[in-house]
Structure 1
Amino acid sequence: MAESDDDQRTKNESSGGMKMTEKEIIKTLLSTSVVKMKDLVPSGPLKSENAMKVAKWILTSKSKKRSPNMILQRIKWLTAVVQYGIVDSLVELEKLFTPFIQLIYTAKYQASVCHLLYMIATPNMYRFQVERITKSVNVVGLTNSLAGLLSRVKSLRPDLVPQTIPHQSDAISFPKAPSTIRNGFYALSEGIKERNEIPNQVTFSIETGKERTTKKMRLDIIPRVQHINLKSSFQVDFRKMVPLSRLQSFDDLLSKITSVELPNHVGSLLSKKEYHYVLSLHFTPRMEALLSQWLYLVLHHEFMERPQVHGREGKTLLLQRILEFQQNTGRKLMVVYDFLSLYLLTWDGIQFSDQIFQLLAHIPFLPYPDLNGNFLQVLEGLFHSCDTSHRLKIIDVCRKLIHNLLLQQFGPVGRAKLLFQKSEKTFSPEEILQLVEGTYVISEVIRFTERLLNTALTSSSDSSLVLNSLLFHLWLIDLESEFQLPFRTFCQPITVYMALFSPAPVTVSLLCQLMCKYGELGRNQLIAMSILPELGEFRQDSLEDAAILNRYIIDISRCLIYHKAFALGGNSMLALLPRKNLKKLSNLGSFQSSFALERHPAFTGISRRWQKSKSGNGKSLKLFEEVDADLDDYTRYMLGRFTAIMDYIQQFHKST
Structure 2
Amino acid sequence: MSQSTSGKKKRTQQEAESHQDANLDEQIDYFTSENSNKKNRNHVELSLALSKVESVAKEQGLTSEQLITLLDVSASGKFPVSTSSKLIKCLLPSRYIPEEAAIKCTSWICSGTPARELQVFLLKWMVLTFELLGRSEKLHALYGVIFNFIENDSLCPHACHLLYKLTRKDDVLPFRVNRLLKLQKKVGSQSYIIGLLSLYKVYQPHLVVLSVPASKRIFFRVIERNWMVEIRKARERSLPEEGRTGATLHTVNQNTGVTQISKKRKRDVIPSAVTAAVTGERLTDLSLVGSQLSSIPSEQIKSFEELLNSVDRLELPGQIASVLKSVVLQHAVACYQEDQISQRLGFWLYETLHEEILDQPFSSNKARGERCLKLVINFTEFLQEGIPACENFLVRYLHTWNGSDYRPYILRLISRFRLYDFPKLNDLILEPLRKLFFCSSVFCKCQMIHTFTMMLKNFVTVEIPRYQAERGKGEGSQTSSEGDKFNISMFTISQEEFDFYGTVEKFIQFVDKLITVAVMAESDHALLFHYLLTFYELVSELRCKYNTPFVCIPSAGIVYRALLSSNCVQISRMCNIVCSYRREFSSWKEASKTADVWQGTRDLIAPFNQYILDFSNILWRNKAFKKDQVVHEPFLSVIPSEVIDRTKVDGPNDGLSVLRHIALVGYAYQFLKETQPKNKKLHPNLIQPKNRDLYLEFLQRHRLEGVLAFINTYIKRTSTKR
Same fold (TM over 0.5): yes
**Does the 8 Å contact 1:402/1:442 carry over to 2?**
yes
2:132 counterpart letter in structure 1:
R
Q: State which drifts further: 122-131 or 508-517.
A: 122-131
The equivalent position to 2:640 in structure 1, one of 576, 579, 582, is: 579
**Does the 8 Å contact 1:490/1:546 carry over to 2?**
no
Partner of 2:271: 223
The equivalent position to 2:671 in structure 1, one of 610, 613, 621, is: 610
Partner of 2:661: 600
Distance change in 2, residues 1:239/1:352 (3 Å):
same
Deviations 1:473-513 (A, max 9, x none): 22222133212211101111112211221222222222332
Instruction: Write the distance in 2 (CA, Å) between the matches of 1:243 and 1:299.
Output: 28
Q: State which drifts further: 341-350 or 606-615.
A: 606-615
Instruction: Write the distance in 1 (CA, Å) between the matches of 2:300 and 2:580.
Output: 56
Partner of 1:319: 373
Instruction: Write the distance in 2 (CA, Å) between the matches of 1:490 and 1:265.
Output: 49
How far off its partner does 1:268 sit?
2.4
| 1:496-511 matched pairs, under 5 angstroms | 496-511=559-574
Bigger relative CO (Cα 8 Å, ≥ 6 apart): 1
Instruction: Write the distance in 1 (CA, Å) between the matches of 2:384 and 2:422.
Output: 22
How far off its partner does 1:223 sit?
2.0
| 1:192-591 matched pairs, under 5 angstroms | 211=259, 213-228=261-276, 239-411=293-465, 437-459=499-521, 460-519=523-582, 521-530=583-592, 536=597, 539-570=598-629, 571-579=632-640, 582-583=643-644, 586-591=647-652
The equivalent position to 1:118 in structure 2, one of 70, 80, 98, is: 98
How far off its partner does 1:461 sit?
2.0
**Does the 8 Å contact 1:559/1:595 carry over to 2?**
yes
Instruction: Write the distance in 1 (CA, Å) between the matches of 2:99 and 2:134.
Output: 13
Distance change in 2, residues 1:602/1:330 (3 Å):
closer
Whether 1:165 and 2:233 are equivalent positions in the alignment is yes
Partner of 1:4: none
Where does the alignment leave 5 or more consecutive residues of structure 2 unmatched? Answer: 1-28, 37-62, 77-82, 110-116, 137-161, 166-221, 280-289, 481-494
2:577 counterpart SS class: helix
How far off its partner does 1:651 sit?
2.9
**Does the 8 Å contact 2:270/2:372 carry over to 1?**
yes
**Does the 8 Å contact 2:96/2:133 carry over to 1?**
no
**Does the 8 Å contact 1:267/1:294 carry over to 2?**
yes
How far off its partner does 1:121 sit?
5.5
Deviations 1:368-395 (A, max 9, x none): 2221111111221121122222212111
Distance change in 2, residues 1:384/1:249 (3 Å):
same
Distance change in 2, residues 1:473/1:448 (3 Å):
same
**Does the 8 Å contact 2:624/2:653 carry over to 1?**
yes
Instruction: Write the distance in 1 (CA, Å) between the matches of 2:628 and 2:247.
Output: 88
2:233 counterpart SS class: coil
**Does the 8 Å contact 1:463/1:502 carry over to 2?**
no
2:618 counterpart SS class: helix
Partner of 2:219: none
Instruction: Write the distance in 2 (CA, Å) between the matches of 1:615 and 1:559.
Output: 26
**Does the 8 Å contact 1:639/1:645 carry over to 2?**
no
Q: Tell me the matched-pair count.
A: 513
**Does the 8 Å contact 1:97/1:117 carry over to 2?**
no
Instruction: Write the distance in 2 (CA, Å) between the matches of 1:443 and 1:532.
Output: 22
Partner of 2:14: none
Partner of 2:6: none
**Does the 8 Å contact 2:418/2:463 carry over to 1?**
no
Whether 1:623 and 2:692 are equivalent positions in the alignment is no
Q: State which drifts further: 215-224 or 373-382.
A: 215-224
Partner of 2:696: 638
Where does the alignment leave 5 or more consecutive residues of structure 1 unmatched? Answer: 1-57, 66-81, 84-93, 136-146, 177-201, 427-432
How far off its partner does 1:560 sit?
1.6
Instruction: Write the distance in 1 (CA, Å) between the matches of 2:697 and 2:517.
Output: 33
Instruction: Write the distance in 2 (CA, Å) between the matches of 1:580 and 1:595.
Output: 16
Deviations 1:557-580 (A, max 9, x none): 221222221112322332541427
Distance change in 2, residues 1:466/1:280 (3 Å):
closer
Partner of 1:19: none
2:611 counterpart letter in structure 1:
Y
TM-score with structure 2 length normalisation?
A: 0.61
Identity of aligned residues (%): 18
Deviations 1:343-387 (A, max 9, x none): 111111121111111110000122222211111112211211222
| 1:102-141 matched pairs, under 5 angstroms | 117-120=97-100, 131=121
**Does the 8 Å contact 1:168/1:213 carry over to 2?**
no
**Does the 8 Å contact 2:298/2:316 carry over to 1?**
yes
Distance change in 2, residues 1:516/1:582 (3 Å):
farther
**Does the 8 Å contact 1:273/1:321 carry over to 2?**
no
**Does the 8 Å contact 2:272/2:322 carry over to 1?**
yes
